[in-house]
Amino acid sequence: MRGLEHLWAGWRQSYVEGLTETDSTGPVSGKGGLSLFESIEQANIPDDESFIVHRGASCFVLMNAYPYSSGHMLVLPKRSAATLGDLTEEEYGELWTTVRTAVTALEEGLSPEGVNVGLNLGRAAGAGIEGHVHVHVLPRWSGDTNFTTTTAETRVLPEAIGETWRRLRRVWPD
């Protein structure tokens, strides 16, 4: 059985190629000993190209490169930490405050019918990138997973990631 495919690509590759090392499943780590997420956050790339929605003191928000739905964001500490227990009290507090803000931004900017918030801690739990804890925040609509996902193992995303990024930045309370 094939893995899930997506119907968009290419325009994000310019920074991924320069920042990451890959294996057969895609990007796995950053360059220079940094995690993939640290590499993206520390790169000298404008936020509208790296799709960073928000930068806080110790955490940031990044559009997911492989979203389940348009607007799927990752909230994560700037510093690589493998588990929630590895976070400082400040990082932990900012992480969950930023998750709450991300949910509010999705509700205001995209008007979803629901929102999923979750973590995949460890490979057995489905973590695609281990070693850098991150919280998934994604909008959901009735029918956003339909026969195309089930029969063709392909997600149809109705909006380009750049447009979704602009919509979320407009409503983010910075």
Residue 160 sits in a domain of what CATH number? 3.30.428.10
Residue 76 domain-assigned (yes or no) = yes
- How far apart (Å, rounded) are the C-alpha atoms in residues 136 and 117? 5
- How far apart are alpha carbons 165 and 116 in whole angstroms? 18
117 lies in some domain: yes
pLDDT tens, per residue, the chain with 174 residues: 556 555 444 444 444 444 444 554 444 555 567 889 999 999 999 999 999 999 999 999 999 988 878 899 999 999 999 999 999 999 999 999 999 999 999 999 999 999 999 998 888 887 777 789 999 999 998 876 654 454 445 556 667 888 999 999 999 987
155's tokens: 């997600």
Residue 142 is predicted with a pLDDT of: 85
In angstroms, the CA 65 to CA 151 distance is 22
Q: Which residue reads 């500490």 in tokens?
A: 77
pLDDT of residue 26: 44
Asked, for residue 8, whether it belongs to a domain, the answer is no
- Within a domain: 105: yes
**Per-residue confidence (pLDDT) for residue 10, from 0 to 100:** 45
Counting the structural domains of the chain, the total is 1
Active site residues: 134
* Residue 25 domain-assigned (yes or no): no
Residue 42 lies in a domain: no
Tell me how far apart the alpha carbons of residues 17 and 15 are, in angstroms, rounded to a whole number: 5
Domain range holding 158? 49-171
128 within some domain: yes
pLDDT value at position 114? 95
Sign of CA dihedral 41, 43, 45, 50: negative
Q: How far apart are the C-alpha atoms of 43 and 150, rounded to whole Å?
A: 37
Q: Does 33 reside within a domain?
A: no
| pTM (whole model) above 0.85 | no
* Confidence (pLDDT) at 49: 94
